[in-house]
């Protein structure tokens, strides 16, 4: 028993552990120790040198792949890395533009706001670096992602979509304006919603309006601020669409570049040809369709048929029906926006300060009016715009007068500003709403332009618009007459309003009143070149409309303005060549129509304008010089002093030889000896004055200059010799050749006068009277006289002895001069023309 008990105790005996001693290992313990060895793959450890990287050693492929990560922080960091990488390596934009645009646009609708803001910044950087033609192939994808963001259910994504739209409107407005249909529908959905088609809804709107303003309480800004933000972007987008439309000639309302449709785009480019050079030229004349200008939109030719996509607004708004359909949807919404803004702005019933608006209400009204004005310009052609104006008048004139004209003109209400503690979070939220400061003057001018466009021409059977046009006309007149400082755009809009009033009211009293106000503004000093050119273009185009409009014909203001143009041109001179060119164009247009007031003023200023030293004819550029020479044809009379100035202009070399020849031909045509007459136009100069002009121009030097040459004893003149009886005064080669060309034209005019013998008698009488006593003769004059004599000399003509002796002396002196020049410098034959 003891043995069994002891064995049992041994089996279950507990080992006593002593303090400080290591615990013995169990018999069934597992050894968990192991050894490891690294496997080094050298190719994998090499740094990626295939392209540039960021400071985090990430290439563009890594960054673009991280944009698909589920974590917002990773996507935000990837966008920051993209901007860093592209800023340091701009060449990556060209290589990866397609992937960049597609990946960045895909996060426009990301649920994280920081990611969307970073994506907008990357897009702005790309837009600043890449031109529109490079982005055009990928723009449909950008537009699709933008549409998704604008119509997203999350309000934050919609607000950030407006920032993306700002970037595209700033850098790629033409690409956005190419397909406006989808975006216009998106704009509508941002501030409104479609009503249900129930019977109750149909009954509540007699005009069948299917859209109503929407209110979203979850936005960080008020409904009015959100609508103002959307309307601001809508106005910029419509402006981009309008600017892509070709401007028709004579459009008075466009605030675009150019003066009343005078911009160069879409107009014919003149091809200047010199027909005398064509027969000897080896290069033919190339003629292109439209002379290099843009084809007109009236052409019916299309490369491929247009496909109707069936959109609600119309794919490109190229028809008046599509524009009218969109306007029928948008205009009621705009009126509702303004009614809500005006109601919240003045909750009281007092009418004393109803014309005073708060800055927010003024901004809303200005945007509403700007969009209404842009809707008119969406019409593809002028006749469509007239039809659209008639439709606006029929549908909305009553509402416009009720909501807009009731308290016209508007002013700014002074609202006290209380100091409040700045809430940084709230300020960041409201910063998304673009601030727009609108002056009352800009608002009232825009309202004038919108309302005047709805007026119709006065006539039998038509209601008069005087009741609501009178305050508009008063405002326009007072603004122009009270020296109000206007910007170029504001003045352009006011002149367009005046133009519309003049042609719709058809009243001489109204016309004179408005034109007097414009002329008062025109007389102000310190106007810029652009502003003065605008006013000149306005008056010029208005004067061209004089025929057929009795209320404009013989306007006292127009006559006063025309009479002042030559005076202004003589005072301005060459200080501003561009403005002088505009003045000359206006003068030429009126002179061609025979305006007596302008012609009398031009006659009085002719000597100053054609002065050979300080006149504009010699100081302005070549194109203006040509117009000044052409003006000579319309002068009623050419005095002796004017002919003396013209002769000096031809011989002094201040104008080209070709232009001098044109001047001589014009003087020849206005003389009675040319047997040329147009209508009842009388000769502008007497025969004696004309012959004197030709002889003075033939000599090339005035009598004072010839006298000074005789008395000067200048060493530059070649002394006389047995072979050279006369002392020749050498002229420069340029002056010599110029005078030779002028002499050729004078000889042509003399040959057309009639009998050559009579012309030769006149010429030799002049030589005998004024030239045979000269001891010093310019070589150009001697060569010119010999050339004229050779052209007029006939077998039946016998020169008198003094003239024959003088001509022989000139010939011998020129031959001696040529021999001397050939001996001194054989290669320099400066006067080789006189040997012909």
pLDDT tens, position by position, 202-219: 444 545 567 888 887 778
**What CATH number should be reported for the domain whose range is 50-176?**
1.25.10.10
More confident residue, 290 or 134: 134
Arithmetic mean of pLDDT over the chain: 80
Q: What's the pLDDT band for 257 if we cut at 50, 70, 90?
A: very low
Beta bridge partners of 193: 212
- Contacts of 10-17 spanning 24+ positions with Cβ under 8 A: none
More confident residue, 626 or 775: 626
- The DSSP H or E segment spanning 601 is helix 596-609
Mean pLDDT of 420-438: 51
pLDDT digits (tens, 9 = 90+) for 340-379: 888 876 655 555 667 788 888 889 999 999 999 998 888 7
More confident residue, 462 or 456: 456
Helix axes 640-651, 596-609, angle to 10 degrees: 50
Q: How far is CA 568 from CA 68, 478, 573, 593, 621, in A?
A: 69, 26, 8, 20, 18
β 727-729/776-778 pair status: parallel
Q: What's the pLDDT band for 244 if we cut at 50, 70, 90?
A: confident
Beta bridge partners of 729: 778
**Residue 382 pLDDT exceeds 90:** no
**Residue 495 pLDDT exceeds 70:** yes
Beta bridge partners of 357: 412
pLDDT digits (tens, 9 = 90+) for 525-570: 888 888 988 999 999 898 888 877 888 888 899 999 999 999 999 9
Question: Using an 8 Å Cβ cutoff, are 151 and 214 in contact?
Answer: no
Mean pLDDT of 738-761: 86
Q: What's the pLDDT band for 417 if we cut at 50, 70, 90?
A: low
CA-to-CA distance for 327 and 234, rounded, in angstroms?
13
**Residue 383 pLDDT exceeds 90:** no
CA-to-CA distance for 771 and 761, rounded, in angstroms?
15
DSSP character string of 530-596:
HHHHHHHHHHHHHHHT-TT-TTTTT-HHHHHHHHHHHHHHHHHTTSSHHHHHHHHHHHHHHHHTT-H
CA-to-CA distance for 236 and 455, rounded, in angstroms?
26
Whole-prediction pTM value? 0.75
Residue 355 has a pLDDT of: 77
Listed residue (633, 642, 631) closest to 604, CA to CA: 642
What is the C-alpha R_g of the chain?
43
Q: What's the pLDDT band for 426 if we cut at 50, 70, 90?
A: very low
Question: Using an 8 Å Cβ cutoff, are 747 and 787 in contact?
Answer: yes
Listed residue (617, 541, 604) closest to 567, CA to CA: 604
Most confident residue range from 157-171, 319-333, 763-777: 157-171
Peptide bond into 409 cis (omega under 30): yes
Residue 306 has a pLDDT of: 43
With the CA atoms of 446, 452, 453 and 455 taken in that order, what torsion angle do they form, in degrees rounded to the nearest 10? 160
**Residue 49 pLDDT exceeds 60:** no
pLDDT digits (tens, 9 = 90+) for 100-113: 999 999 999 999 99
Residue 264 has a pLDDT of: 36
What are the residue ranges spanned by the domains of the chain? Answer: 50-176, 179-193+220-260+312-346+353-414+431-454, 554-699, 709-835
Which percentage of the chain shows pLDDT scores above 70? Answer: 79
pLDDT digits (tens, 9 = 90+) for 63-80: 889 899 999 999 999 999
Q: Which residue has tokens 């615990």?
A: 23
Residue 305 has a pLDDT of: 40
Q: Which residue has tokens 């979070």?
A: 425
**Residue 274 pLDDT exceeds 50:** yes
Residue 322 has a pLDDT of: 82
pLDDT digits (tens, 9 = 90+) for 12-34: 667 677 787 788 788 888 888 88
Residue 275, burial from CB neighbour count under 10 angstroms (0-12, 13-18, 19+): exposed
- The DSSP H or E segment spanning 63 is helix 60-66
Tokens (6 digits) for 11: 């089996």
Residue 133 has a pLDDT of: 92
Question: Using an 8 Å Cβ cutoff, are 364 and 229 in contact?
Answer: no
Sign of CA dihedral 668, 671, 674, 676: positive
Tokens (6 digits) for 103: 């990946």
- Contacts of 505-511 spanning 24+ positions with Cβ under 8 A: 505/455, 505/458, 505/469, 506/457, 506/458, 506/459, 506/549, 506/551, 507/458, 507/551, 508/550, 508/551, 508/555, 510/473, 510/551, 511/551, 511/552, 511/555
Question: Using an 8 Å Cβ cutoff, are 580 and 620 in contact?
Answer: yes
Residue 564, burial from CB neighbour count under 10 angstroms (0-12, 13-18, 19+): middle
Question: Using an 8 Å Cβ cutoff, are 483 and 444 in contact?
Answer: no
């Amino acid at each position: 028993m003891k043995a069994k008990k002891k064995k049992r105790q041994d089996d279950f005996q507990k080992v006593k552990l002593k303090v400080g001693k290591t615990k013995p290992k169990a018999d069934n313990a597992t050894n968990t120790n192991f050894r490891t060895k690294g496997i080094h793959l050298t190719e994998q450890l090499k740094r990626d040198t295939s392209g540039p990287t960021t400071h985090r050693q990430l290439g563009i492929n890594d960054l673009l792949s991280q944009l698909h990560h589920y974590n917002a922080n990773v996507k935000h960091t990837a966008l920051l890395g993209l901007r860093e990488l592209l800023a340091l390596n701009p060449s990556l934009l060209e290589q990866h533009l397609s992937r960049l645009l597609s990946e960045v646009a895909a996060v426009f609708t990301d649920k994280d706001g920081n990611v969307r803001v970073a994506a907008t910044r990357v897009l702005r950087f790309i837009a600043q670096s890449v031109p529109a033609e490079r982005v055009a192939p990928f723009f449909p994808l950008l537009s699709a992602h933008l549409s998704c963001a604008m119509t997203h259910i999350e309000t934050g994504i919609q607000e950030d979509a407006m920032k993306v739209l700002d970037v595209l409107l700033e850098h790629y407005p033409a690409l956005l304006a190419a397909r406006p249909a989808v975006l216009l529908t998106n704009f509508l959905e941002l501030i409104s919603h479609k009503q249900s088609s129930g019977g109750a809804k149909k009954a509540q709107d007699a005009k069948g309006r299917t859209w109503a303003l929407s209110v979203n309480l979850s936005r960080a800004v008020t409904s009015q601020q959100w609508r103002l933000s959307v309307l601001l972007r809508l106005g910029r987008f419509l402006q981009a669409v309008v600017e892509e439309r070709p401007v028709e000639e004579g459009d008075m309302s466009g605030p675009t570049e150019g003066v009343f449709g005078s911009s160069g785009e879409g107009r014919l480019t003149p091809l200047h040809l010199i027909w005398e050079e064509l027969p000897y030229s080896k290069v033919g004349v190339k003629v292109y369709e439209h002379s290099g200008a843009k084809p007109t939109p009236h052409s019916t030719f299309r490369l491929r048929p247009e496909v109707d996509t069936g959109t609600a607004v119309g794919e490109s708004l190229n028809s008046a029906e599509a524009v009218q359909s969109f306007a029928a949807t948008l205009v009621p919404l705009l009126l509702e926006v303004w009614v809500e803004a005006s109601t919240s702005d003045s909750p009281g019933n007092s009418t004393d300060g109803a014309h005073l608006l708060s800055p927010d209400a003024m901004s809303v009204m200005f945007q509403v009016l700007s969009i209404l004005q842009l809707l008119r310009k969406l019409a593809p052609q002028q006749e469509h715009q007239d039809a659209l104006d008639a439709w606006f008048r029929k549908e909305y004139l009553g509402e416009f007068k009720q909501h807009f004209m009731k308290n016209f003109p508007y002013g700014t209400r002074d609202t006290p500003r209380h100091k409040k503690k700045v809430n940084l979070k709230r300020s960041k939220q409201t910063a998304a709403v673009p601030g727009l400061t609108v002056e009352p003057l800009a608002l009232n001018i825009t309202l004038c332009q919108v309302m005047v466009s709805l007026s119709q021409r006065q006539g039998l059977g038509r209601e008069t618009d005087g009741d609501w046009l009178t305050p508009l006309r008063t405002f326009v007149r007072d603004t122009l007459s009270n020296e109000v400082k206007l910007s170029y755009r504001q003045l352009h809009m006011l002149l367009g309003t005046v133009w519309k009033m003049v042609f719709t009211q058809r009243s001489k009293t109204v016309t004179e009143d408005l034109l007097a106000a414009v002329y008062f503004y025109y007389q102000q000093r310190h106007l810029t070149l652009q502003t003065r050119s605008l006013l000149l273009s306005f008056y010029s185009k208005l004067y061209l409309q004089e025929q057929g409009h009795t209320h404009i014909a013989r306007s006292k203001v127009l006559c006063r303005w025309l009479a002042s143009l030559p005076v202004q041109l003589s005072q301005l001179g060459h200080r501003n060549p561009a403005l002088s060119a505009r003045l000359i164009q206006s003068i030429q247009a009126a002179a061609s129509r025979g305006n007596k007031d302008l012609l009398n003023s031009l006659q009085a200023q002719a000597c100053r304008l054609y002065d050979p030293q300080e006149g504009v004819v010699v100081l302005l550029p070549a194109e203006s010089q040509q117009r000044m020479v052409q003006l000579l044809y319309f002068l009623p009379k050419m005095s002796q002093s004017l002919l003396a100035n013209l002769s000096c202009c031809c011989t002094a070399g201040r104008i080209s030889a070709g232009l001098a020849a044109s001047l001589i031909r014009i003087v020849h045509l206005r003389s009675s000896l040319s047997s040329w007459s147009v209508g009842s136009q009388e000769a502008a100069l007497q025969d004696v004055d004309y012959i004197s002009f030709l002889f003075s121009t033939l000599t090339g030097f005035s009598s004072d200059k010839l006298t000074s040459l005789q008395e000067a004893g200048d060493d530059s003149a070649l002394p006389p010799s047995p072979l050279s009886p006369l002392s020749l005064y050498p002229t420069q080669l340029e002056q010599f050749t110029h005078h030779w060309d002028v002499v050729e034209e004078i000889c042509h005019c003399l040959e057309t006068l009639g009998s050559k013998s009579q012309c030769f008698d006149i010429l030799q009488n002049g030589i005998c009277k004024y030239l045979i006593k000269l001891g010093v003769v310019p070589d150009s004059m001697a060569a010119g006289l010999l050339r004229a004599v050779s052209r007029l000399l006939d077998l039946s003509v016998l020169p008198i002895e003094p003239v024959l002796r003088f001509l022989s002396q000139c010939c011998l002196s020129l031959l001696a001069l040529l021999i001397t020049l050939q001996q001194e410098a054989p290669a320099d034959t400066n006067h080789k023309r006189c040997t012909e």
